[in-house]
Structure 1
């Protein structure tokens, strides 16, 4: 390790530690000021200075395909400005987008050493550990718990958001981490003590996720677990069925099962999904869970609520589903009426009142309200062409990941790739019900971690094999 590290290394190290930890945001006039707003320009300036002084080199990561995808969406977004009713939010949206692109380009192309990557992992790991521990402390002591969206919950004190401002954002952050810690515990470590310690950290994040009471995140977590098993079936299952690991899973499942409102919230999640998929699905899963269709008994929720309470919960969940679907319909209508270049990047909220006034059936009682779907937001603001270009970014992103997955022979590299595939999938799925891609703190973490992980795995292919832990 060199005696004097490049400025870029220290700037990235600071970003990995501070961005998850620091939710503080203020404004200097119209300009926002937050950790990522300070640190992304700092990383950019450091990289330019280091490159000009030859303190850093670029690797041979094939950046061109995703650069084309990034550029295509940017061009369409700029063209959409001709339809923008307000330029201020449009310019801010474009600036944020460019900041993510520049950040990803730097961390995926700068040639860091293996020791520097190890320090990056330690910095982010420590930050994530503090965030997770604070989430548990927050719930135990009732510190600034979020009380929004607590319908159908009777026992929970509130929803945990830790340092990520909103429970939905925090749930997505935790879901990014969960596959990595699960794979470290089950697949990577060989010593029982290291496995159990890492599994305890994994369990802490699972408990945090439950305490956000974000139903979409619970479903996404199960999907991420399924991806992990599908991508590493023999290795994962062989290690997971060892006695101490089986016991660990059983203990965690027992704890989760008896946590406040887990059973009723699970029922509510299944019921909500059924209502979204089909309004006329007879004998559905949720009905069977509750012993529905007038049957006596039979549902594992029968002990949790009587018929009147269940009917009340279903009515509340129905209202929530109707509101969410109405928001999606608003985004869809906006996109259909502006199919080529949308209403202008960043202008969904600006035009929201106009559309709910024009179509009263879309009005849910607010002058402005998020569409709660990142893809519909993009489509409404930049049209179908913009949506296609935007989705293409993530298609190319996954093409990289699966290429790295197939090329990885090192156990650690394979683990990192699978964790990133599963964690990213949870992030993209949760964007179907939230605008997480447009949350700067969260999206910065996504592209920062993705770029570093992809570069590490790519560069590892050119290095001699390292001894495994």
Structure 2
């Protein structure tokens, strides 16, 4: 079982290094980053394991949810191929498709190969990596190491590319200590320290959409546990009000006038106009940025600044790039990933805490993707796929034991 062992070891390396290595370079159309390089070895060992050890005939994808998910993914891959011929910049279309293939292969090989021991170790190692990243966030704050500021106030980005992505990354793990304490019905020192560390990083990312996403995820968690717990939700707003600048940032979210002036509205409208004018097939996968200059020239009212290409909305980006069918199938893929976690939460006895924590993350993630292009940030998005594959495989193994 050498290839399975190599896959497991590489998976451990992946979850330890990817959160703390923000390496991102590109050679021609080939994206080179920590996640892509390590994932390439994972995929290689996964293929070798399936061919030489498990055997192609023993691939177990009989689960109905996995089968339905596979159909959706296949349709999206076909639409990717169509989009290649539509795209003006073929390299960008290939690069974007390669990223999606990375997520798909990682999901399936993890689901096929991972056993219970691998799953538990992977979750623990990922949590350790995020603790290290959060600790570095504190170091950034104390020594002023972050290159990002707003009104001369430092914004933490830790080991991620920018504060928006870091705020979203914190939301992957911040719900775990909360759910753990509720589950144990006591406040432990470790969970309190972990929660305090993550809240600090979330606050000083100064990313308002991450704050709202956290509150949305927490609301759903409390609703699922006990509706009475929702009364405690305002307590989590208190830290936002404790520091003068976080308080000021929070209050701006309540100002209709400032919201109306937000540049995102122009960016969203630009993406919508692009979708409207390329309704069926879009402008081509990964090609939004190459059409952006043309649109701000044609519609001067949409101008924000020339170098700002992102639509700050993953769903609008996909509708603009791949048209109505690509956009709808893309949304369906992510809703299906979310549904798998819900399925686990409803049926598991052993992984209740993990599943509920991931429900909080998925609510936060889907919410925040309306304000940022997180689904196109590999260092972040890859864990939405990977952690879902792990928890769903854990559930499948658990239910088989129960039969």
TM-score, normalized by length of structure 2?
0.91
What stretches of structure 2 of length at least 5 have no aligned partner? none
Q: In structure 2, what is the Cα distance between the partners aligned to 1:75 and 1:95? A: 13
Aligned equivalent of 2:250: 266
In 2 relative to 1, CA 73–463 (structure 1 residues): closer, same or farther, beyond 3 Å?
same
Deviation at 1:265, TM superposition (A): 0.9
2:3 touches 2:46 (CA, 8 Å); kept in 1?
A: no
- Cα offset, 1:4, TM superposition: 10
Choose from 362, 371, 377 the match for 1:439: 377
* Contact 1:170–1:212 (8 Å) recurs in 2: yes
Residue in structure 2 matched with residue 72 of structure 1 by the alignment: 75
CA distance in 2, matches of 1:190, 1:378: 43
Comparing 362-371 and 333-342, the one that deviates more: 362-371
Q: Secondary structure at the match of 2:32?
A: strand
Q: 2-side partners of 1:382 and 1:255: how far apart?
A: 41
- Of residues 199, 206, 210, the one that matches 2:203 is 210
Deviations 1:33-60 (A, max 9, x none): 2111111111111112223332697555
CA RMSD of aligned residues (A): 2.7
CA distance in 2, matches of 1:422, 1:26: 32
Sort the Cα spacing of 1:461 and 1:222 in 2 relative to 1 into closer, same or farther, 3 A.
same
1:379-390 equivalence runs, <5 A: 379-390=319-330
Deviation at 1:17, TM superposition (A): 0.5
Q: Distance in 2 between matches of 1:259 and 1:462?
A: 50
Aligned pairs for 1:347-366 within 5 A: 347-366=287-306
What residue number does 1:82 align with? 85
2:278 corresponds to 1:338: yes
In structure 1, how many angstroms separate the alpha carbons of the residues matched to 2:239 and 2:314? 33
Alignment of 1:37-186 (within 5 A): 37-54=36-53, 61-62=63-64, 63-112=66-115, 114-147=116-149, 150=150, 153=151, 157-186=153-182
Three-state SS of the structure 2 residue aligned to 1:461 is helix
In the alignment, structure 1 segments of 5+ residues that lack a partner are 276-313
**203-212 or 367-376, which moves further after superposition?**
367-376
Q: 1:361 to 1:265 in 2, by over 3 A?
A: same
Number of matched pairs: 399
- The alpha-carbon deviation at position 177 of structure 1 amounts to 1.1
SS of match in other structure, 1:396: helix
Following superposition, the deviation at residue 11 of structure 1 comes to 1.1
Q: 1:270 to 1:83 in 2, by over 3 A?
A: same
Matched residues in 2 for 1:74 and 1:5: separation? 27
Structure-2 change in CA distance of 1:388 and 1:255 (3 Å): closer
Match of 2:33 in 1: 34
Equivalent position SS for 1:462:
helix
Larger Rg: 1
Tell me, yes or no, if structure 1 residue 459 matches structure 2 residue 400: no
1:343 aligned counterpart, secondary structure:
coil
The answer to whether the aligner puts 1:197 opposite 2:190 as a matched pair is yes
Q: For residue 413 of structure 1, what is the aligned residue in structure 2?
A: 351
1:378 paired residue among 318, 326, 342: 318
Between the aligned partners of 2:118 and 2:186, the Cα distance in structure 1 is: 25
Match of 1:232 among 225, 234, 240: 225
Quick check: 1:448 aligned with 2:401?
Answer: no
Query: What TM-score comes out, normalization by structure 1 length?
Result: 0.79
Alignment of 1:304-315 (within 5 A): 314=258
